[in-house]
Amino acid sequence: MIIRICAFTHTGWELSDKIEYAFPEHIFERRSSDDILSEWTQDSFDIKAPIIFVGAAGIAVRAVSSVLKDKLSDSPVIVIDEKGRHVIPILSGHVGGANELANKIAKRLNSEPIITTGTDVQSKFSVDVFAMNNSLEIVNREAIQSVSSKLLETGHISIGISPDIEYEGINLPAELTVHTFDIDHSGKDNDEFDVIISSDAIYDEHYTLYLRPREYVLGIGCKKDTQEETIRNAVDKVLIDNNLNISDIAEIATIDIKAKEYGLVLYAQKERKRLKTYSSHVLSTVKGDFSESEFVREVTGVSNVCERAAICAAGEDSELLVPKISGQGVTVAIAHRKVRICDTNLSYNKSDSIKTNIHRNKIIYIVGIGPGDHSYLSKKAKDVIESSDVVVGYTVYVDLLKKFYPYKDYRTTGMRQEIERCELCYELAESGKNVSLICSGDAGIYGMASPMFELSSKYPDTEIVVVPGITAASSGAAVLGAPLNHDFCVISLSDLMTPWDTIVRRLQAAIMGDFAIAIYNPSSRKRADYLQKACDIMLEAGADSERACGYVENIGREGTRAVCCTLKELRNCKVNMFTTVFVGNSRSYIDNNRLITKRGYNE
């Protein structure tokens, strides 16, 4: 999403910085001092960009008053006071998404959202939100008011759904009844319903609201920095050639590396279409007969983007209507989806995220968060955590993350509850949640990736995606100097899951092979002498007592401490469980309190 933001004082711009930092998944554009406010606002409305005014509500009202058209096309507008205490959506709360965005901003800034729309205030079913969340086109918008008024006055409305649309199992609020009806093309028998959902029914009055399912999904791939106009021309040609209109499109799908591709984001935003993104791993698992490109695989990690993304978004029982069509650096495909009505009891003041499909893809991200400081998190890790409904992890690691994402929903388990932690993730994913399981360092190095995969056979419909992180070996080595600059191995001294005899053989083999060594879990309350034992084993295996070594405590966190020493000195060092130990090879040396292992370039 491209979000426009405007402030008028230094304090306001400081708050704008916080907002932008809290939403790394979006593209922010600021009004400069040279921009005429009325022209800037008009341009924002032209591209359907949400506008955030930091300052007085009166300024926002005057700025937008001359560009207003109607509730289905106006940009969402939000006002926030300079102290960030109140977040107020003042325009396009439902269809434009201002209420949803306001709730998200308030949650992430620890502010109070001020929602004034009638259905939200009274916690009633909102028909325009329902239409948007289920990708239904509002055919006769003038009927929205009569339906909403009846709901607020009588507390009840009825919905008729044509028999080709699935709706079984949805959660019906008390004020709503839903029935399947036989399509009457004359429309005479339709007046018993307040809302009709059908592709075929013909309307002839303004009291019944008609909603038409959008049955197609656009899959789009494009080269970097492709212009919005180029993407639009490519899509328009495909739609025209297949007798379709952009109003027939439910959403647009692509690969996650295009999540901030400006031209693509701008096109989706102008057309008021959700842009759904998927990782190369998820796209590669989509079943079907797709065109293949080795060049695309080298660039993106998957051999086809547009076809696979279209099918992925449309659902497993969808079919590819238009295979890949290429031109001007843009690829387009169209999938036909099975129309389903999801949970009807949806309201922006009840959830921080939109439910888009009753058969939502079940994905668990296993995220390596590095040593703990936010600066060590990869952009991918930040984006995944930000988009997750629930973050699961060991208590210590969750506490490290909470100060950066205090608004997330966290679930924790203690030490030695790793399997329970994995099963909790699967249960949450089964319930429709986006889940991130966080691990210190890298999730695939002494992390939670392997137990998650080991349990995956019990949950065949859930995808597992591993997001790499900076492990202690590399982050600790950076603090010490360059101790792992040649062949090295990583050995854990924890014998909770590895027999001590095996650890002994690995230490001996590492010395015999002249590897540099990174040692994890060197000590704990119950294993206070394990590092001393390990040093003795390495000395007996042939390591010189003067071999260059070192260790780092609290890597990347408050209290980071690095020490260089010899193997003989290391034997008597007292370390804790938050320490990573480094043992050089026979050619490693210490210079100016740096542990260095030669690579051989100077020889």
What whole-number distance in Å separates Cα of residue 177 and Cα of residue 175?
7
Res 345 pLDDT > 60: no
6 SS3 class:
strand
pLDDT average, residue stretch 392-404: 86
- For 595, the token pair is 């542990």
pLDDT value at residue 155: 78
Contacts of residue 266, defined as CB under 8 A and 6 or more positions apart, other chains included, come to 2, 47, 228
Strand partners, 365: 436, 465
**Which residue has better confidence, 493 or 601?**
493
Q: Distance between CA 480 and CA 559 in Å, rounded?
A: 15
**Chain mean position to CA 568:** 48
User: The sheet that has 112-113: what strands, in order across it?
Assistant: 27-30, 2-7, 51-54, 77-80, 86-91, 112-113
Please, are residues 107 and 87 in contact by the beta-carbon 8 Å criterion? no
pLDDT at 205: 58
558, HSE (Cβ side, Cα atoms, 13 Å): 1
Q: What is the mean pLDDT of residues 470-491?
A: 95
| pLDDT class of 391 with cuts at 50, 70, 90 | very high
Whole-model pTM over 0.85: no
Determine the Cα–Cα distance for residues 414 and 451; give it in Å rounded to an integer.
16
Q: To the nearest 10°, report the CA torsion of 578, 584, 590, 594.
A: -40
Report the range of poorest mean pLDDT among 79-88, 244-253, 404-413: 404-413
The predicted-structure confidence for 242-263, as pLDDT tens digits, reads as follows 999 999 999 999 998 999 999 9
Q: Which comes out higher in pLDDT, residue 391 or 201?
A: 391
Mean pLDDT of the chain: 87
Backbone angles phi, psi at 93, to 5 degrees: -65, -40
Tell me which amino acid residue 237 is.
K
